[in-house]
Amino acid sequence: MEIFLPAREPFRFDLALKYLKRSHDEVLDVVHGDRYRRAMQGPDGPVLVEATAAEAGVTARVLAGTLPEETLACQIQRQFQLDYDRTQLPADDPFAGPLVEQFQGLPVVQTATPFEAMVWAILGQQINIAFAYKLKRRFVENYGEQVDHDGHTYYLFPTPDRIVMIDTDDLREIQFSRQKTRYIVGISQAIIDGELDFEEAEQLDDEDALALLQKQIGIGRWTAEYVLMRGLGRRDVIPAGDMGLRSAVGVFQGLPGNASEQAVRDLAESWRPYRGDIAFRCWFGFQHGMYKRGKQAAVVEQPADPGSY
DNA sequence: ATCCAGGCTCCTG
DNA sequence: CAGGAGCATGGA
């Protein structure tokens, strides 16, 4: 089975893949050349799906297992925001403009599920990204179901049911801190108990959804905002407390250090209602060597060749 | 060794 | 209610 999914222009699948290639330790969103592959849960068990660029869109197919065509379409469409309008981003803004222009067509690449976004955000709290990826890799390889195809192993993200069964000492063993362990097991249990429901959050406006998520221990403002932005497709939510954003804004404003969270929020006011799109592009730019100190603030170079990281 | 990294909780004043 | 200490863990 193979289906064509049209994308609203501008859209660049290759840029999305570039974002996904940011770590060698990424084991969920696998990129082989120009192919995106991902294992996920289907109605009849694990499946492996693939997506590649096509003329004015994306082609999606199932490589292993079975999945209803509509489910496949929805998933890929959601992960790559194929139907989002990217023509109204703030092109004239001094900070956002270069990001809008240089990364035209880049969607806010979504995680396969909101749950995955939340766990990933917790893993990323207060540690460097490279190490966060290592933690995720060990976590996924140890506790995720696997799908073998073409001599390669693909992983599903661990489920809440599986996570609450894990001996917490085993998580310490793979270098999870006590807090991360507690937070991740906690939200897994909350999902099982129906206390935390992403479909419920889906129905709420940004403010209320953020408040709902923040009721969980370990989910502060940054994490909640991250989940809305990367897992629930909300375009106007920005994790302004983020170190990367604060650093980028600090460079932009010519400060000796990072900008404050408030300064990021203030600057982002003019990006409404696409603050999330700009924040994501800022991360992408950061990933590609923008925002180096010493450069004239508003001048942003053409992104350096990626793939090295 | 020292400081920092895609924060959070909890306790002060 | 804002601000900060304390936390927890590895990497540069």
Say whether pLDDT at A301 is over 70.
no
> For A250 and C4, how far is CA from C1' in angstroms?
22
Same domain flag for A224 and A120:
yes
Residue where a domain terminates, one of A194, A211, A232: A232
Nucleotide closest in space to A181 (CA vs C1'): C8
Residue A304 placed within a domain? no
> For A128 and C11, how far is CA from C1' in angstroms?
8
% of chain A residues with pLDDT over 70: 95
Among candidate residues A16, A50, A5, A32, the one with its CA nearest the CA of residue A287: A16
List protein-proximal bases of chain B (any atom < 7 A from a CB): 4-10
Same domain flag for A134 and A228:
yes
Output the domain CATH number for residue A72: 3.30.310.20
The pLDDT, as a whole number, for residue A303 is: 39
Banded pLDDT at A294 (limits 50, 70, 90): low
Same domain flag for A204 and A124:
yes
Residue A303 placed within a domain? no
d(CA A68, CA A78): 16
Mean pLDDT in residue range A56-81: 98
% of chain A residues with pLDDT over 90: 91
d(CA A205, CA A236): 11
Output the domain CATH number for residue A228: 1.10.340.30
Number of folded domains that form chain A: 3
Q: Which helix (H) or strand (E) holds A172?
A: helix A168-173
The pLDDT, as a whole number, for residue A75 is: 98
Same domain flag for A224 and A119:
yes
List protein-proximal bases of chain C (any atom < 7 A from a CB): 7-12
Residue where a domain terminates, one of A202, A232, A262: A232
> For A96 and C1, how far is CA from C1' in angstroms?
33
> For A293 and C5, how far is CA from C1' in angstroms?
30
Same domain flag for A127 and A100:
no
Residue A217 placed within a domain? yes
- The reply to whether A189 Cβ lies less than 7 angstroms from strand B is no
Same domain flag for A101 and A29:
no
Mean pLDDT in residue range A2-14: 98
- Tokens 């809008």, residue located: A100
Among candidate residues A171, A191, A192, the one with its CA nearest the CA of residue A181: A171
The pLDDT, as a whole number, for residue A175 is: 94
| CB within 8 Å of A216: residues ≥ 6 apart | A183, A186, A187, A190, A196
Question: Closest CA to C9 C1' — which residue?
Answer: A177
Same domain flag for A61 and A159:
no
The pLDDT, as a whole number, for residue A150 is: 94
Task: Name the residues in A217-246 having a C-beta closer than 7 Å to nucleic acid strand B.
Answer: 217-224, 226, 230, 239, 241-244
Residue A1 placed within a domain? no
> For A33 and B11, how far is CA from C1' in angstroms?
51
Residue count (chain A)? 309
Higher pLDDT, A308 or A165: A165
Amino acid at A71: T
Same domain flag for A75 and A147:
no
A8-22, A46-60, A244-258, range with the lowest pLDDT: A244-258
Q: How far is CA A211 from the centre of its chain?
A: 20
> For A262 and C6, how far is CA from C1' in angstroms?
23
Backbone angles phi, psi at A153, to 5 degrees: -100, 130
Nucleotide closest in space to A286 (CA vs C1'): B6
Banded pLDDT at A262 (limits 50, 70, 90): very high
Say whether pLDDT at A300 is over 50.
no
Residue A305 placed within a domain? no
Output the domain CATH number for residue A256: 1.10.1670.40
Say whether pLDDT at A214 is over 60.
yes
Residue where a domain terminates, one of A212, A232, A252: A232
Same domain flag for A100 and A126:
no
Same domain flag for A240 and A179:
no
The pLDDT, as a whole number, for residue A291 is: 87
* CA distances from residue A171 to A107, A123, A175, A180 in whole angstroms, order as listed: 33, 12, 7, 9
Residue A307 placed within a domain? no
- The reply to whether A18 Cβ lies less than 7 angstroms from strand B is no
Buried b (16+ CB within 10 A) or exposed e, A206-238: beebbebbeebebbeebbbbbbbbbbbbbbbbb
Residue A190 placed within a domain? yes
- Residue A71 belongs to what domain range? 8-83
d(CA A278, CA A269): 11
| CB within 8 Å of A37: residues ≥ 6 apart | A30, A31, A48, A49, A50, A51, A63, A154
The pLDDT, as a whole number, for residue A126 is: 94
Same domain flag for A220 and A243:
no
Mean pLDDT in residue range A61-85: 98
Same domain flag for A183 and A226:
yes
- The reply to whether A127 Cβ lies less than 7 angstroms from strand B is yes
Round the average pLDDT of chain A to a whole number and report it.
Answer: 93
* pTM exceeding the 0.85 threshold for the entire prediction: yes
Residue A309 placed within a domain? no
